[in-house]
Amino acid sequence: MSIIGKIKIISSSTLELLREDPLLVAAFFDAQWWSESGEKINQEAKARFVNLPSPQDLGWLIPASPLQWENSYDWQALEEQFLAEWETAELDLHKYWPEITFLLAGYVPGYVTSEWTVPELNVDNKYEKEFLPFLLIENSAWDGLPLVNAFGAGAELAYSRDYGAVRYLVSSEVEQIFDGLLKLSPKGYRKRFIRESKKPGPLPWIDWSEEEMLYWMTDYYREIVAYYRNAVSQHKTLLLYLT
């Protein structure tokens, strides 16, 4: 099964809740299923949320965590807030998030110290994160175009999903990355793809021989730009994660 990359628009108020109380993160992700009533998975997710105010230790929401509830909530209001957040769907990057990150930001997630990292991004060999933490590097030495870490950036919430921590970008960071995406432009993005594809030993994680790959990657770029534009226009924040 492929690892899928996703981006989710949320409000600043919801992000603040998730930052302050990581035990709410599981309930937030469960909320995406509540609107489709009748399915067993939705009933189970709903039941989990209804039981959250219990005074017992709910550390099971975060494996091996001793955390307990320290805050009291208006659970009905919180349920409505989370449901409203899922009226805006996730942006699904499918299995192509490594290729997208390379073409946007100049490195392959998980291989940030290898030959496939742009020299100006080289980091200490002790760096063990999947992604590099920068937001934007303008006028890169790679090709003079911006390096835009649109999927790899973000601070970590104290909560992990299937494949690592859930990360987030505050509204000012979303705006900065969006500006970088616009400066890169579809033309610059396609130019970068074509130049890399013609190298004697191109990145092996991209099937450069696939005739449709350039169009697929450009479509993903446009979808990311549109999703960021939506977030910026509403002064929203973003979650970034793997499932």
- Residue 5 inside a domain? The answer is no
Q: What span, in angstroms and rounded, lies between the C-alpha atoms of 26 and 92?
A: 19
- Residue 121 inside a domain? The answer is yes
11-55 confidence digits (pLDDT tens): 999 999 999 998 899 989 999 887 654 444 445 555 555 555 443
164-210 confidence digits (pLDDT tens): 899 999 999 999 999 999 999 999 999 999 999 999 888 888 888 88
Residue 228 pLDDT level (bands cut at 50, 70, 90): very high
Q: Which residues contact 40 (CB under 8 A, 6 or more apart)?
A: none
- Residue 3 inside a domain? The answer is no
Question: Are 139 and 227 contained in the same domain?
Answer: yes
Last-in-domain residue among 85, 120, 147? 85
> Which pLDDT value is given to residue 123?
63
CA angle 191, 192, 196 (to 5 degrees): 115
- Residue 97 inside a domain? The answer is yes
> Which pLDDT value is given to residue 65?
45
> Which pLDDT value is given to residue 51?
55
Instruction: Look at 127 and 130; give whichever has higher pLDDT.
Output: 130
**pTM of the model as a whole:** 0.85
Contact 21, 154 (CB under 8 A): no
Question: Are 68 and 103 contained in the same domain?
Answer: no
Question: Are 196 and 116 contained in the same domain?
Answer: yes
Task: Extract the tokens encoding 214.
Answer: 């350039």
Question: Are 188 and 218 contained in the same domain?
Answer: yes
Give the number of domains in the chain: 2
- Residue 1 inside a domain? The answer is no
> Which pLDDT value is given to residue 223?
98
Q: Which residues contact 217 (CB under 8 A, 6 or more apart)?
A: 96, 99, 100, 103, 189, 193
Task: Extract the tokens encoding 55.
Answer: 């005074």
- Span between the terminal Cα atoms of the chain, in Å: 10
With a pLDDT cut of 90, the percent of the chain lying above it is 57
Last-in-domain residue among 52, 70, 85? 85
Question: Are 119 and 220 contained in the same domain?
Answer: yes
- Residue 7 inside a domain? The answer is no
Alpha helices in the chain (DSSP H): 12-20, 23-30, 40-50, 75-85, 97-105, 171-197, 213-233
Question: Are 126 and 147 contained in the same domain?
Answer: yes
Question: Are 231 and 144 contained in the same domain?
Answer: yes
- 76: containing domain: 13-85
- Residue 2 inside a domain? The answer is no
- Residue 6 inside a domain? The answer is no
> With 50 as the cut, is the pLDDT of residue 58 above it?
no
Question: Are 142 and 222 contained in the same domain?
Answer: yes
Q: What span, in angstroms and rounded, lies between the C-alpha atoms of 42 and 37?
A: 6
User: Which residue type occupies 72?
Assistant: S
90-126 confidence digits (pLDDT tens): 999 999 999 999 999 999 898 776 777 787 786 655 5
Question: Are 190 and 101 contained in the same domain?
Answer: yes
Buried (b) or exposed (e) across 200-239, using 16+ Cβ within 10 A? eeebeebeeeeeebeeebeebbeebbebbeebbeeebbbb
Question: Are 76 and 179 contained in the same domain?
Answer: no
Q: Is the dihedral of CA 176, 118, 203, 161 positive or negative?
A: negative
Q: Specify the range with the lowest mean pLDDT, choosing from 45-59, 128-142, 173-187, 215-229.
A: 45-59
Question: Are 126 and 194 contained in the same domain?
Answer: yes
Question: Are 120 and 27 contained in the same domain?
Answer: no
Last-in-domain residue among 85, 107, 138? 85
Residue 57 pLDDT level (bands cut at 50, 70, 90): very low
